[in-house]
Amino acid sequence: MDIIYIRELKIDTVIGIYGWERQIKQTVVFDIEMATDISQAAATDSIEHTLNYKAVAKRLIDFVSSSDFQLVETLIEQVAEIILTEFSVPWVRVQLNKRGALRGARDVGIIIERGTKP
């Protein structure tokens, strides 16, 4: 199994349960690992034979920036589902970081794994 990853993808969105959070956009930060097989892409040197991380990032930026979930749990599940279904990835690990959400802590967030590791 090979892993293509995206680190510190920062996206502004409406997220949170408090009234003031519903009025502003906050930055959430994603770290994403996606299982794939890069052997055909390596052999052909062709983007068509690999997982296009730019396309993944663009899709997530479009989705997350226009979303307005209350819970980060809902947002992260939706992000994982998009990656699994739209990009035919068998396994994904997504970390969502909502920096500044907890006074006294640098970060707070969630890490999930979905799908089946090959």
Question: In residues, how long is the chain?
Answer: 118
Catalytic annotation, pick one of 10, 25, 54, 98: 98
- DSSP-assigned states of every residue in 68-86: --S-HHHHHHHHHHHHHHH
- Six-digit token pair at 52? 């296009």
CA–CA dist 82, 19 (Å, integer): 28
CA–CA dist 71, 73 (Å, integer): 5
Known catalytic residue at 98: yes
Active site residues: 98
